[in-house]
Protein backbone atom coordinates (compact mmCIF):
# COMPACT_ATOMS: atom_id res chain seq x y z
CA UNK A 1 0.00 0.00 0.00
CA UNK A 2 2.79 2.42 0.95
CA UNK A 3 4.59 1.67 -2.32
CA UNK A 4 1.46 2.41 -4.33
CA UNK A 5 0.94 5.71 -2.50
CA UNK A 6 4.57 6.65 -3.11
CA UNK A 7 4.24 5.82 -6.82
CA UNK A 8 1.02 7.84 -7.11
CA UNK A 9 2.63 10.78 -5.32
CA UNK A 10 5.64 10.64 -7.65
CA UNK A 11 3.44 10.45 -10.73
CA UNK A 12 1.55 13.63 -9.94
CA UNK A 13 4.84 15.56 -9.76
CA UNK A 14 6.04 13.97 -13.01
CA UNK A 15 2.70 15.02 -14.52
CA UNK A 16 3.34 18.58 -13.38
CA UNK A 17 6.82 18.45 -14.90
CA UNK A 18 5.44 17.19 -18.21
CA UNK A 19 2.76 19.86 -18.65
CA UNK A 20 5.19 22.55 -17.49
CA UNK A 21 7.77 21.41 -20.03
CA UNK A 22 5.29 21.85 -22.87
CA UNK A 23 4.07 25.14 -21.43
CA UNK A 24 7.69 26.31 -21.46
CA UNK A 25 7.53 26.27 -25.25
CA UNK A 26 4.46 28.54 -25.39
CA UNK A 27 5.93 31.09 -23.03
CA UNK A 28 9.34 31.01 -24.69
CA UNK A 29 7.63 31.80 -27.99
CA UNK A 30 5.95 34.88 -26.50
CA UNK A 31 9.15 36.57 -25.38
CA UNK A 32 11.47 35.64 -28.23
CA UNK A 33 8.97 37.12 -30.71
CA UNK A 34 8.88 40.48 -28.91
CA UNK A 35 12.65 40.89 -29.08
CA UNK A 36 12.74 39.81 -32.74
CA UNK A 37 10.04 42.25 -33.92
CA UNK A 38 12.38 44.93 -35.34
CA UNK A 39 14.36 42.26 -37.24
CA UNK A 40 11.14 40.77 -38.64
CA UNK A 41 10.00 44.25 -39.64
CA UNK A 42 13.24 44.97 -41.50
CA UNK A 43 13.56 41.55 -43.15
CA UNK A 44 9.98 41.32 -44.41
CA UNK A 45 9.57 45.04 -45.08
CA UNK A 46 6.32 45.41 -43.14
CA UNK A 47 4.69 48.29 -41.26
CA UNK A 48 3.81 48.59 -37.58
CA UNK A 49 0.19 47.50 -38.11
CA UNK A 50 1.31 44.27 -39.80
CA UNK A 51 3.84 43.80 -37.02
CA UNK A 52 1.02 44.12 -34.50
CA UNK A 53 -0.85 41.36 -36.35
CA UNK A 54 2.15 39.05 -35.95
CA UNK A 55 1.52 39.26 -32.20
CA UNK A 56 -2.24 39.80 -32.04
CA UNK A 57 -3.01 37.10 -34.65
CA UNK A 58 -1.61 34.58 -32.18
CA UNK A 59 -3.36 36.14 -29.17
CA UNK A 60 -6.66 36.43 -31.02
CA UNK A 61 -6.96 32.80 -32.14
CA UNK A 62 -5.72 31.78 -28.70
CA UNK A 63 -8.48 33.81 -27.05
CA UNK A 64 -11.29 32.81 -29.42
CA UNK A 65 -10.64 29.06 -29.12
CA UNK A 66 -9.60 28.91 -25.47
CA UNK A 67 -13.06 28.02 -24.17
CA UNK A 68 -13.53 25.45 -26.91
CA UNK A 69 -10.17 23.95 -25.95
CA UNK A 70 -11.26 23.73 -22.32
CA UNK A 71 -14.60 22.16 -23.28
CA UNK A 72 -12.94 19.64 -25.61
CA UNK A 73 -10.49 18.73 -22.84
CA UNK A 74 -13.36 18.03 -20.45
CA UNK A 75 -15.32 16.11 -23.10
CA UNK A 76 -12.72 14.06 -24.94
CA UNK A 77 -9.93 13.78 -22.40
CA UNK A 78 -7.49 16.36 -21.08
CA UNK A 79 -4.37 14.47 -22.09
CA UNK A 80 -5.71 13.84 -25.59
CA UNK A 81 -6.49 17.50 -26.28
CA UNK A 82 -3.21 18.56 -24.69
CA UNK A 83 -1.31 16.28 -27.08
CA UNK A 84 -3.31 17.58 -30.07
CA UNK A 85 -2.58 21.19 -29.15
CA UNK A 86 1.11 20.46 -28.65
CA UNK A 87 1.32 18.79 -32.08
CA UNK A 88 -0.41 21.74 -33.80
CA UNK A 89 1.81 24.24 -32.00
CA UNK A 90 4.98 22.37 -32.96
CA UNK A 91 3.98 22.11 -36.64
CA UNK A 92 2.92 25.77 -36.87
CA UNK A 93 6.23 26.84 -35.31
CA UNK A 94 7.97 25.18 -38.24
CA UNK A 95 5.70 27.09 -40.64
CA UNK A 96 6.51 30.38 -38.88
CA UNK A 97 10.22 29.80 -39.38
CA UNK A 98 9.69 29.05 -43.07
CA UNK A 99 7.48 32.13 -43.70
CA UNK A 100 8.84 34.41 -46.43
CA UNK A 101 6.29 37.23 -46.15
CA UNK A 102 3.97 38.86 -43.65
CA UNK A 103 0.85 37.02 -44.80
CA UNK A 104 2.38 33.57 -44.30
CA UNK A 105 3.90 34.53 -40.95
CA UNK A 106 0.63 35.96 -39.64
CA UNK A 107 -1.26 32.87 -40.84
CA UNK A 108 1.21 30.53 -39.13
CA UNK A 109 1.00 32.60 -35.95
CA UNK A 110 -2.79 32.26 -36.00
CA UNK A 111 -2.34 28.48 -36.26
CA UNK A 112 0.07 28.62 -33.33
CA UNK A 113 -2.68 30.27 -31.33
CA UNK A 114 -5.01 27.37 -32.17
CA UNK A 115 -2.49 24.90 -30.77
CA UNK A 116 -1.93 27.02 -27.67
CA UNK A 117 -5.69 27.33 -27.11
CA UNK A 118 -5.95 23.54 -26.85
CA UNK A 119 -2.83 23.22 -24.69
CA UNK A 120 -3.22 25.96 -22.08
CA UNK A 121 -6.59 25.08 -20.47
CA UNK A 122 -5.63 21.40 -20.56
CA UNK A 123 -2.45 22.10 -18.55
CA UNK A 124 -4.37 23.85 -15.77
CA UNK A 125 -7.22 21.34 -15.70
CA UNK A 126 -4.72 18.45 -15.57
CA UNK A 127 -3.07 20.11 -12.55
CA UNK A 128 -6.45 20.71 -10.87
CA UNK A 129 -7.51 17.09 -11.45
CA UNK A 130 -4.15 15.72 -10.25
CA UNK A 131 -3.43 17.77 -7.11
CA UNK A 132 -5.61 18.10 -3.97
CA UNK A 133 -6.64 21.63 -2.94
CA UNK A 134 -4.01 21.89 -0.18
CA UNK A 135 -1.19 21.33 -2.73
CA UNK A 136 -2.73 23.07 -5.72
CA UNK A 137 -1.35 26.52 -4.94
CA UNK A 138 2.21 25.18 -4.70
CA UNK A 139 1.75 23.24 -7.96
CA UNK A 140 0.42 26.34 -9.70
CA UNK A 141 3.36 28.30 -8.33
CA UNK A 142 5.78 25.83 -9.92
CA UNK A 143 3.75 25.93 -13.14
CA UNK A 144 3.95 29.73 -13.16
CA UNK A 145 7.63 29.65 -12.24
CA UNK A 146 8.48 27.39 -15.18
CA UNK A 147 6.56 29.60 -17.57
CA UNK A 148 8.31 32.61 -16.04
CA UNK A 149 11.66 30.92 -16.60
CA UNK A 150 10.80 30.71 -20.30
CA UNK A 151 9.85 34.39 -20.20
CA UNK A 152 13.16 35.15 -18.53
CA UNK A 153 15.48 33.37 -20.92
CA UNK A 154 13.31 34.08 -23.96
CA UNK A 155 14.44 37.68 -24.54
CA UNK A 156 18.11 36.78 -24.16
CA UNK A 157 17.89 33.61 -26.27
CA UNK A 158 15.78 35.45 -28.83
CA UNK A 159 18.24 38.31 -28.96
CA UNK A 160 21.24 36.03 -29.45
CA UNK A 161 19.48 33.93 -32.11
CA UNK A 162 18.07 36.96 -33.95
CA UNK A 163 21.38 38.82 -33.97
CA UNK A 164 23.73 35.94 -34.80
CA UNK A 165 21.58 33.38 -36.72
CA UNK A 166 18.28 34.89 -37.88
CA UNK A 167 14.78 35.55 -36.53
CA UNK A 168 13.42 32.40 -38.23
CA UNK A 169 15.28 30.27 -35.72
CA UNK A 170 13.31 31.65 -32.78
CA UNK A 171 10.49 29.48 -34.14
CA UNK A 172 12.59 26.52 -35.20
CA UNK A 173 13.76 25.95 -31.60
CA UNK A 174 10.16 25.06 -30.66
CA UNK A 175 10.23 21.97 -32.88
CA UNK A 176 12.60 19.72 -30.88
CA UNK A 177 11.11 20.96 -27.61
CA UNK A 178 7.64 20.09 -28.86
CA UNK A 179 8.65 16.62 -30.01
CA UNK A 180 10.19 15.80 -26.62
CA UNK A 181 7.07 17.16 -24.92
CA UNK A 182 4.81 14.92 -27.01
CA UNK A 183 6.71 11.80 -26.02
CA UNK A 184 6.88 12.75 -22.33
CA UNK A 185 3.18 13.68 -22.10
CA UNK A 186 2.09 10.45 -23.78
CA UNK A 187 4.07 8.35 -21.31
CA UNK A 188 3.46 10.25 -18.07
CA UNK A 189 0.16 12.16 -17.97
CA UNK A 190 -2.90 10.15 -16.87
CA UNK A 191 -6.13 10.68 -18.79
CA UNK A 192 -9.04 12.47 -17.11
CA UNK A 193 -12.30 14.04 -18.25
CA UNK A 194 -15.61 15.48 -17.01
CA UNK A 195 -18.17 12.66 -16.81
CA UNK A 196 -20.71 14.52 -14.67
CA UNK A 197 -23.30 15.18 -17.38
CA UNK A 198 -23.98 15.50 -21.09
CA UNK A 199 -21.29 17.35 -23.07
CA UNK A 200 -21.48 19.15 -26.41
CA UNK A 201 -19.78 22.01 -28.23
CA UNK A 202 -21.35 25.45 -28.37
CA UNK A 203 -20.78 26.38 -32.01
CA UNK A 204 -23.07 29.49 -32.01
CA UNK A 205 -21.13 30.84 -29.05
CA UNK A 206 -17.80 30.11 -30.73
CA UNK A 207 -18.80 31.89 -33.96
CA UNK A 208 -20.37 34.96 -32.30
CA UNK A 209 -17.47 35.47 -29.86
CA UNK A 210 -14.92 35.01 -32.65
CA UNK A 211 -16.61 37.59 -34.88
CA UNK A 212 -16.89 40.08 -32.00
CA UNK A 213 -13.22 39.83 -30.99
CA UNK A 214 -11.87 39.87 -34.54
CA UNK A 215 -13.96 42.89 -35.52
CA UNK A 216 -12.94 44.83 -32.41
CA UNK A 217 -9.22 44.09 -32.70
CA UNK A 218 -9.16 44.73 -36.45
CA UNK A 219 -10.90 48.08 -35.95
CA UNK A 220 -8.46 49.18 -33.23
CA UNK A 221 -5.38 48.21 -35.24
CA UNK A 222 -6.50 49.64 -38.58
CA UNK A 223 -8.38 52.73 -37.38
CA UNK A 224 -5.43 55.12 -37.47
CA UNK A 225 -4.45 54.21 -41.03
CA UNK A 226 -8.00 54.07 -42.42
CA UNK A 227 -9.55 56.80 -40.28
CA UNK A 228 -11.64 56.43 -37.14
CA UNK A 229 -14.73 57.75 -38.95
CA UNK A 230 -14.33 55.62 -42.09
CA UNK A 231 -17.35 53.43 -42.91
CA UNK A 232 -15.26 50.26 -42.54
CA UNK A 233 -14.04 51.09 -39.02
CA UNK A 234 -17.45 52.27 -37.82
CA UNK A 235 -19.02 49.15 -39.32
CA UNK A 236 -16.50 46.93 -37.53
CA UNK A 237 -17.23 48.54 -34.16
CA UNK A 238 -20.97 48.07 -34.75
CA UNK A 239 -20.39 44.45 -35.79
CA UNK A 240 -18.30 43.85 -32.66
CA UNK A 241 -21.04 45.29 -30.44
CA UNK A 242 -23.82 43.29 -32.13
CA UNK A 243 -21.83 40.03 -32.12
CA UNK A 244 -20.79 40.53 -28.49
CA UNK A 245 -24.41 41.13 -27.48
CA UNK A 246 -25.51 38.06 -29.44
CA UNK A 247 -22.82 36.00 -27.69
CA UNK A 248 -24.00 37.03 -24.21
CA UNK A 249 -27.66 36.35 -25.06
CA UNK A 250 -26.79 32.96 -26.55
CA UNK A 251 -24.79 31.93 -23.49
CA UNK A 252 -27.59 32.99 -21.16
CA UNK A 253 -30.10 30.77 -22.97
CA UNK A 254 -27.99 27.82 -24.15
CA UNK A 255 -28.69 24.53 -22.39
CA UNK A 256 -24.97 23.68 -22.40
CA UNK A 257 -23.15 27.00 -22.96
CA UNK A 258 -19.48 27.31 -23.82
CA UNK A 259 -19.22 30.35 -21.57
CA UNK A 260 -20.78 29.24 -18.27
CA UNK A 261 -22.23 32.52 -17.05
CA UNK A 262 -23.37 30.90 -13.79
CA UNK A 263 -19.74 30.70 -12.64
CA UNK A 264 -19.68 34.51 -12.52
CA UNK A 265 -22.20 34.45 -9.70
CA UNK A 266 -19.17 33.73 -7.56
CA UNK A 267 -17.51 37.11 -6.90
CA UNK A 268 -14.05 35.60 -6.58
CA UNK A 269 -14.26 33.92 -9.98
CA UNK A 270 -15.65 37.10 -11.54
CA UNK A 271 -12.95 39.21 -9.90
CA UNK A 272 -10.08 36.90 -10.85
CA UNK A 273 -11.19 36.88 -14.50
CA UNK A 274 -11.55 40.66 -14.53
CA UNK A 275 -8.04 41.05 -13.11
CA UNK A 276 -6.73 38.60 -15.74
CA UNK A 277 -8.23 40.83 -18.43
CA UNK A 278 -6.88 44.03 -16.93
CA UNK A 279 -3.33 42.88 -16.17
CA UNK A 280 -2.93 41.62 -19.73
CA UNK A 281 -4.60 44.71 -21.15
CA UNK A 282 -2.10 46.84 -19.24
CA UNK A 283 1.09 44.84 -19.84
CA UNK A 284 0.99 43.09 -23.25
CA UNK A 285 1.19 46.32 -25.21
CA UNK A 286 4.02 47.47 -22.96
CA UNK A 287 6.18 44.46 -23.83
CA UNK A 288 5.52 45.08 -27.53
CA UNK A 289 6.26 48.82 -27.60
CA UNK A 290 9.03 48.93 -24.98
CA UNK A 291 10.91 46.41 -27.15
CA UNK A 292 10.50 48.72 -30.15
CA UNK A 293 11.53 51.70 -28.02
CA UNK A 294 14.74 50.05 -26.83
CA UNK A 295 15.83 48.98 -30.30
CA UNK A 296 14.46 51.75 -32.53
CA UNK A 297 14.91 54.75 -30.20
CA UNK A 298 17.71 53.84 -27.79
CA UNK A 299 19.57 51.88 -30.47
CA UNK A 300 19.88 48.67 -28.44
CA UNK A 301 20.89 45.51 -30.26
CA UNK A 302 18.53 42.51 -30.04
CA UNK A 303 20.83 40.91 -27.44
CA UNK A 304 21.00 44.05 -25.31
CA UNK A 305 17.22 44.42 -25.45
CA UNK A 306 16.89 40.82 -24.31
CA UNK A 307 19.23 41.44 -21.39
CA UNK A 308 17.28 44.58 -20.44
CA UNK A 309 14.14 42.50 -19.85
CA UNK A 310 15.94 40.04 -17.56
CA UNK A 311 15.38 41.92 -14.25
CA UNK A 312 11.62 41.76 -14.78
CA UNK A 313 11.45 38.14 -15.86
CA UNK A 314 13.97 36.84 -13.30
CA UNK A 315 11.90 38.43 -10.54
CA UNK A 316 8.82 36.66 -11.91
CA UNK A 317 10.70 33.35 -11.61
CA UNK A 318 11.73 34.03 -8.02
CA UNK A 319 8.49 35.55 -6.74
CA UNK A 320 5.80 33.45 -8.52
CA UNK A 321 6.35 30.21 -6.51
CA UNK A 322 6.51 32.21 -3.27
CA UNK A 323 3.28 33.98 -4.19
CA UNK A 324 1.64 30.61 -4.89
CA UNK A 325 2.61 29.17 -1.51
CA UNK A 326 1.62 32.38 0.26
CA UNK A 327 -1.78 32.34 -1.42
CA UNK A 328 -2.36 28.83 0.00
CA UNK A 329 -1.93 30.20 3.52
CA UNK A 330 -3.26 33.75 3.30
CA UNK A 331 -5.53 33.75 0.26
CA UNK A 332 -5.18 35.73 -2.95
CA UNK A 333 -6.99 38.99 -2.28
CA UNK A 334 -4.23 41.19 -0.88
CA UNK A 335 -1.52 39.61 -3.00
CA UNK A 336 -3.46 40.48 -6.16
CA UNK A 337 -4.31 43.96 -4.85
CA UNK A 338 -0.69 44.74 -4.04
CA UNK A 339 0.58 43.14 -7.24
CA UNK A 340 -1.65 45.22 -9.51
CA UNK A 341 -0.68 48.36 -7.59
CA UNK A 342 3.00 47.61 -8.23
CA UNK A 343 2.25 46.99 -11.93
CA UNK A 344 0.57 50.40 -12.15
CA UNK A 345 3.52 52.08 -10.44
CA UNK A 346 5.93 50.37 -12.85
CA UNK A 347 3.94 51.69 -15.81
CA UNK A 348 4.12 55.23 -14.41
CA UNK A 349 7.90 54.83 -14.23
CA UNK A 350 8.01 53.72 -17.87
CA UNK A 351 5.92 56.78 -18.79
CA UNK A 352 8.85 59.00 -17.75
CA UNK A 353 11.26 57.48 -20.31
CA UNK A 354 12.94 59.85 -22.78
CA UNK A 355 14.79 59.38 -26.12
CA UNK A 356 18.15 59.45 -24.33
CA UNK A 357 17.21 57.52 -21.18
CA UNK A 358 19.75 55.08 -19.76
CA UNK A 359 19.15 51.52 -18.59
CA UNK A 360 18.95 52.88 -15.03
CA UNK A 361 15.77 54.72 -16.06
CA UNK A 362 14.29 51.44 -17.32
CA UNK A 363 15.31 49.37 -14.30
CA UNK A 364 12.78 50.58 -11.66
CA UNK A 365 9.88 49.91 -14.02
CA UNK A 366 11.24 46.44 -14.78
CA UNK A 367 11.61 45.63 -11.06
CA UNK A 368 8.16 46.90 -10.11
CA UNK A 369 6.56 45.16 -13.09
CA UNK A 370 8.26 41.84 -12.37
CA UNK A 371 7.28 41.69 -8.70
CA UNK A 372 3.80 43.02 -9.47
CA UNK A 373 3.02 40.52 -12.22
CA UNK A 374 4.34 37.55 -10.21
CA UNK A 375 2.36 38.61 -7.14
CA UNK A 376 -0.77 38.93 -9.25
CA UNK A 377 -0.74 36.05 -11.73
CA UNK A 378 -0.26 32.96 -9.53
CA UNK A 379 -2.69 34.02 -6.77
CA UNK A 380 -5.14 35.07 -9.50
CA UNK A 381 -5.07 31.57 -10.99
CA UNK A 382 -5.35 29.93 -7.57
CA UNK A 383 -8.33 32.15 -6.69
CA UNK A 384 -10.17 31.34 -9.91
CA UNK A 385 -9.65 27.58 -9.66
CA UNK A 386 -10.53 27.46 -5.96
CA UNK A 387 -13.94 28.90 -6.80
CA UNK A 388 -15.02 26.22 -9.31
CA UNK A 389 -15.63 22.46 -8.84
CA UNK A 390 -12.82 20.17 -10.02
CA UNK A 391 -15.03 18.69 -12.76
CA UNK A 392 -15.34 22.23 -14.18
CA UNK A 393 -11.60 22.89 -14.05
CA UNK A 394 -11.22 22.70 -17.83
CA UNK A 395 -13.96 25.25 -18.48
CA UNK A 396 -12.90 27.42 -15.54
CA UNK A 397 -9.26 27.57 -16.57
CA UNK A 398 -10.31 28.09 -20.18
CA UNK A 399 -12.41 31.09 -19.19
CA UNK A 400 -9.59 32.54 -17.08
CA UNK A 401 -7.06 32.22 -19.86
CA UNK A 402 -9.58 33.51 -22.40
CA UNK A 403 -9.85 36.73 -20.42
CA UNK A 404 -6.06 36.88 -20.20
CA UNK A 405 -5.60 36.37 -23.95
CA UNK A 406 -8.43 38.74 -24.84
CA UNK A 407 -6.70 41.31 -22.65
CA UNK A 408 -3.42 40.67 -24.46
CA UNK A 409 -4.92 41.05 -27.94
CA UNK A 410 -6.89 44.15 -26.96
CA UNK A 411 -3.92 45.56 -25.05
CA UNK A 412 -1.65 45.59 -28.08
CA UNK A 413 -4.45 46.94 -30.29
CA UNK A 414 -5.55 49.60 -27.78
CA UNK A 415 -2.03 50.74 -26.84
CA UNK A 416 -1.13 50.79 -30.52
CA UNK A 417 -4.16 52.93 -31.33
CA UNK A 418 -3.35 55.39 -28.52
CA UNK A 419 0.32 55.50 -29.51
CA UNK A 420 -0.48 56.07 -33.18
CA UNK A 421 -3.02 58.79 -32.36
CA UNK A 422 -0.56 60.64 -30.13
CA UNK A 423 2.24 60.24 -32.66
CA UNK A 424 0.13 61.54 -35.54
CA UNK A 425 -0.92 64.60 -33.53
CA UNK A 426 2.72 65.36 -32.69
CA UNK A 427 3.83 64.93 -36.30
CA UNK A 428 1.10 67.32 -37.42
CA UNK A 429 2.44 69.84 -34.89
CA UNK A 430 5.94 69.61 -36.38
CA UNK A 431 7.63 67.11 -34.04
CA UNK A 432 10.30 64.71 -35.24
CA UNK A 433 9.44 61.03 -35.65
CA UNK A 434 11.25 60.13 -32.43
CA UNK A 435 9.52 62.90 -30.49
CA UNK A 436 6.17 61.83 -31.93
CA UNK A 437 6.76 58.19 -31.00
CA UNK A 438 7.69 59.14 -27.43
CA UNK A 439 4.61 61.34 -27.07
CA UNK A 440 2.34 58.51 -28.20
CA UNK A 441 4.19 56.01 -25.98
CA UNK A 442 3.72 58.22 -22.91
CA UNK A 443 -0.02 58.52 -23.58
CA UNK A 444 -0.41 54.76 -23.92
CA UNK A 445 1.58 54.07 -20.74
CA UNK A 446 -0.53 56.47 -18.65
CA UNK A 447 -3.68 54.72 -19.88
CA UNK A 448 -2.13 51.33 -19.07
CA UNK A 449 -1.33 52.54 -15.52
CA UNK A 450 -4.95 53.58 -14.96
CA UNK A 451 -6.06 50.12 -16.15
CA UNK A 452 -3.65 48.44 -13.69
CA UNK A 453 -4.93 50.51 -10.75
CA UNK A 454 -8.48 49.55 -11.74
CA UNK A 455 -7.37 45.90 -11.50
CA UNK A 456 -6.03 46.52 -8.00
CA UNK A 457 -9.37 47.95 -6.88
CA UNK A 458 -11.24 45.05 -8.49
CA UNK A 459 -9.15 42.46 -6.62
CA UNK A 460 -9.64 44.27 -3.33
CA UNK A 461 -13.42 44.39 -3.67
CA UNK A 462 -14.19 40.93 -5.08
CA UNK A 463 -11.70 38.20 -4.12
CA UNK A 464 -12.40 36.04 -1.05
CA UNK A 465 -10.25 33.51 0.83
CA UNK A 466 -9.59 30.07 -0.66
CA UNK A 467 -11.02 28.23 2.36
CA UNK A 468 -14.24 30.22 2.06
CA UNK A 469 -14.39 29.43 -1.64
CA UNK A 470 -13.90 25.68 -1.06
CA UNK A 471 -16.76 25.68 1.45
CA UNK A 472 -19.01 27.62 -0.93
CA UNK A 473 -18.22 25.25 -3.82
CA UNK A 474 -18.91 22.21 -1.63
CA UNK A 475 -22.27 23.64 -0.49
CA UNK A 476 -23.24 24.36 -4.10
CA UNK A 477 -22.30 20.82 -5.15
CA UNK A 478 -24.31 19.33 -2.26
CA UNK A 479 -27.38 21.35 -3.19
CA UNK A 480 -27.03 20.29 -6.86
CA UNK A 481 -26.79 16.63 -5.80
Task: Confirm whether 414 is domain-assigned.
Answer: yes
Residues 288-301: tens digit of each pLDDT = 888 889 988 999 98
CATH number at residue 180: 1.20.1250.20
Look at 136 and 253; give whichever has higher pLDDT.
253
282, 448 in Cβ contact below 8 A? yes
Give helix then strand counts, H and E, for the chain: 17, 0
Q: How confident is the model at residue 5 (pLDDT cuts 50, 70, 90)?
A: very low
pLDDT of residue 416: 83
- The residue segments making up the domain with residue 392 are 2-188+258-480
Look at 462 and 255; give whichever has higher pLDDT.
462
* Cα–Cα distance measured from residue 307 to residue 286, given in angstroms and rounded to the nearest whole number: 16
243, 208 in Cβ contact below 8 A? yes
**Closest by CA position to 20, among listed 127, 168, 94, 129:** 127
Chain centroid to CA 85: 16
CA-to-CA separations, 384 to 261, 266, 327, 403, in angstroms, rounded: 14, 10, 12, 12
Task: Confirm whether 458 is domain-assigned.
Answer: yes
pLDDT of 420 > 90? The answer is: no
- The angle that helices 48-76 and 203-226 make with each other, rounded to 10 degrees, is 170
55, 102 in Cβ contact below 8 A? no
417, 384 in Cβ contact below 8 A? no
Task: Confirm whether 48 is domain-assigned.
Answer: yes
3-state secondary structure of 347: helix
Residue 93, Cβ neighbours under 10 Å: how many? 25
Task: Confirm whether 383 is domain-assigned.
Answer: yes
Task: Confirm whether 108 is domain-assigned.
Answer: yes
The mean per-residue pLDDT over the stretch 120-143 comes to 74
The total of structural domains in the chain comes to 1
Exposed/middle/buried for 188, CB within 10 Å: 0-12, 13-18, 19+? middle
pLDDT of residue 265: 83
Task: Confirm whether 220 is domain-assigned.
Answer: no
pTM value? Answer: 0.77
Residues 146-158: tens digit of each pLDDT = 776 776 677 788 8
Task: Confirm whether 137 is domain-assigned.
Answer: yes
| pLDDT, the chain, mean | 82
Task: Confirm whether 231 is domain-assigned.
Answer: no
Is the Cα torsion angle 137, 374, 313, 450 positive or negative in sign? positive
Residues 70-107: tens digit of each pLDDT = 778 877 888 888 899 999 999 999 999 999 898 999 99
Amino acid sequence: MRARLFAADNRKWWTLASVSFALFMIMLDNTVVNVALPAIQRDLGIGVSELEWVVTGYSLSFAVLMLTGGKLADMLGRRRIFLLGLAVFTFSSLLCGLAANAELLIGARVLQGVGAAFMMPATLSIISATFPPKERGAALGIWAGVSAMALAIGPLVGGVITEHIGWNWIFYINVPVGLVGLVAARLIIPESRDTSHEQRLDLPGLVSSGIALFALVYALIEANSRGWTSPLIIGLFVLAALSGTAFVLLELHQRLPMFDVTLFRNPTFAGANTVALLVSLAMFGVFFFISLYMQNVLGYSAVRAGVAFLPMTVLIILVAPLAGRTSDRLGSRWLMTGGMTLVGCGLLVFAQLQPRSSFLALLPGMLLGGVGMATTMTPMTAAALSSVPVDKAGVGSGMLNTFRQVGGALGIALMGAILASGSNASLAAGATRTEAFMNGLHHSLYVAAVIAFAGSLTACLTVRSHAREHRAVERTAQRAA
